[in-house]
Homo-oligomer: A and B are copies of this chain.
Amino acid sequence: MKPKLSIVKIGGNVIENSSSLSQVLELFSKMENHTILVHGGGKKATELGNRLGIKAQMINGRRITDAASLDIAVMVYGGLVNKNIVAELQSIGTNAIGMSGADGNAIHAHKRPIKDIDFGFVGDVDSVHGENVSKLLIAGFTPIFCALTHDGKGQLFNTNADTIAAELAVGLSSNYETTLYYCFEKKGVLREVSDEDSVIEHINSESYKELLKNGVIADGMLPKMHNCFYALQNNVHQVCIGNESMLSNTSSKYTRLTL
């Protein structure tokens, strides 16, 4: 039987509020089995950019990562956010180790190909070196990943944190029974966006198609659900979407996805 691994992705809203962050880290530190945390950077990178007078470059409403924006991402995600999370987890007994995709050669990516838009230093993931991440887990460390990857030629990239979490889950599923948790501000996937209690408690491939057809899953949930089913189709055991309470063993509702 494979050992169990939980990969928890926490979103920007959690990171921006230090008491929410502490609450999530507290729950995360109490989780059993091997664990990995993946975090984005929230609005902190935009804030630093504004203070430096560097405006986010946008083309057709899509954000571009130019060289100055990449430096900001590396400073904020890889430095400020990551190291403070690591220090806080250490204070509550979790032997955290901060990681980008370059550290331990964990996540290889290539620059997103230019079709209509040149996104700049945005990386699409090629591969996760699960054996290196696994060495850290076996040695008793808890890897804390920020949303940066590298191309193996010295170039860092900005990569979506949801994607990093899904790719790590896929990359480690040959050696671990992996559950992927997408932790965000809502209780789960909602049947009615305006009704916080309309959580859909279980979605499988079949009901997913229905929910897409009926437009229940739309907008920002689309790429998240795409990552979930990508993970499930590539040997990830289970995916859960909800707020931080799903990380504990309380009876709160959340959405559980299986094939």
Residues of chain A whose beta carbon lies under 8 Å from any beta carbon of chain B: 48, 51-52, 71, 74-80, 82-84, 86-88, 90-91, 95-100, 102-105, 132, 135-136, 139-141, 148, 150, 152-156
Residue of B nearest to A100 (CB): B83
Contacting pair A86 B100 (CB below 8 A): yes
Please classify the interface of chain A as helix (H, G, I), strand (E, B), loop, or mixed, using the class held by over half of its residues.
Answer: helix
> Within 8 Å CB of A135, what residues of B?
139-141
Out of B74, B82, B102, B139, name the residue touching A139 (CB < 8 Å).
B139
> Within 8 Å CB of A86, what residues of B?
100, 102-103
Contacting pair B153 A91 (CB below 8 A): yes
**From residue A226, how far is it (CB to closest CB) to chain B in Å?**
28
**From residue A231, how far is it (CB to closest CB) to chain B in Å?**
25
Given contacts A52-B51, A76-B75, contact A87 B154 (CB under 8 A): yes
Contacting pair B139 A91 (CB below 8 A): no
Contacting pair B74 A83 (CB below 8 A): yes
> Within 8 Å CB of A103, what residues of B?
83, 86, 96-98
